[in-house]
């Protein structure tokens, strides 16, 4: 039995779950609404404030789908009740970030500024304090979309191993390499 798939998902108060006959799970909460199409082989049950998923056989495909859809539904329930948040840090001299609505303008040491257009589901804030690295905070109810956008922003200037310059997640440790050894 899948360790992840067999765990029940507890639904907090204020979150409504709808499961259609075509296995479309809709989760509505105080922060918004999310929908996920579930494979027809996986059965979804909502009883007594908990969601449980069942699979028909012990095939490898069914086992993997069981855990996948349980995790996706759990993320949806968490997202509509409490938002997900990713914090990124710009490390480098002259690196800047400015949020203008759904536009994120980044100055990353290139000859031009990089502008990232964010989807409506994602809210962005930037903080620049004197003597500290600029910080980008992304929040959304959709964990999958949030991670994808954060990875896209990070790919604009990945942290390099010699000086550690680039866009990194807050709390991430970058493996540093030694530079050239001094000639003896």
Residue 88 lies in a domain: yes
Strand 135-140 relative to strand 123-127, pairing: antiparallel
Position 62 scores a pLDDT of 92
Position 1 scores a pLDDT of 47
Position 4 scores a pLDDT of 83
92 plus 21 within the same structural domain: no
With 0-12 / 13-18 / 19 or more C-beta atoms within 10 angstroms meaning exposed / middle / buried, residue 144 is: middle
Position 126 scores a pLDDT of 96
Position 182 scores a pLDDT of 62
Position 34 scores a pLDDT of 94
100 plus 161 within the same structural domain: yes
CA distance 48 to 30: 20
Position 179 scores a pLDDT of 83
Domain that holds residue 50: 9-81
Q: What is the DSSP letter of 157?
A: S
Q: Tell me the C-alpha to C-alpha distance, in Å, between residue 77 and each of 51, 65, 68, 81.
A: 10, 18, 14, 6
Position 112 scores a pLDDT of 95
40 plus 99 within the same structural domain: no
CATH classification at residue 74: 3.90.930.12
72 plus 115 within the same structural domain: no
Residue 132 lies in a domain: yes
Position 39 scores a pLDDT of 92
Decide which of 28, 47, 81 is a domain's last residue: 81
CA distance 62 to 78: 24
- Number of folded domains in the chain? 2
**pLDDT by position in tens, the chain (length 184):** 468 888 999 999 999 999 998 889 999 999 999 999 999 999 999 999 999 999 999 899 999 999 999 999 999 999 999 999 999 999 999 999 999 999 999 999 999 999 999 999 999 999 999 989 999 999 999 999 999 999 999 999 999 999 989 999 999 898 989 888 766 5
Closest CA to 138 of 127, 35, 73: 127
Position 19 scores a pLDDT of 92
163 plus 133 within the same structural domain: yes
Residue 184 lies in a domain: no
92 plus 165 within the same structural domain: yes
Residue 177 lies in a domain: no
Residue 62 lies in a domain: yes
């Amino acid at each position: 039995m899948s360790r992840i798939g067999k765990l029940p998902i507890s639904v907090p108060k204020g979150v409504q779950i709808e499961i259609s006959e075509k296995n479309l799970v809709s989760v509505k909460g105080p922060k918004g609404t999310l929908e996920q199409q579930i494979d027809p082989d996986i059965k979804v049950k909502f009883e007594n404030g908990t969601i449980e998923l069942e699979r028909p056989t012990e095939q490898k495909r069914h086992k993997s789908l069981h855990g996948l859809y349980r995790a996706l539904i759990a993320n949806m329930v968490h997202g509509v009740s409490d938002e997900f948040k990713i914090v990124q840090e710009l490390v480098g001299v002259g690196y800047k970030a400015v949020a203008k609505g759904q536009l994120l303008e980044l100055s990353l040491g290139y000859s031009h500024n990089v502008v990232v257009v964010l989807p409506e589901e994602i809210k962005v804030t930037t903080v620049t304090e004197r003597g500290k690295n600029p910080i980008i905070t992304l929040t959304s109810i959709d964990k999958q979309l949030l991670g994808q956008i954060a990875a896209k922003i990070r790919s604009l200037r990945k942290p390099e191993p010699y000086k550690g310059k680039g866009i990194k997640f807050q709390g991430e440790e970058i493996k540093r390499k030694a530079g050239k050894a001094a000639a003896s």
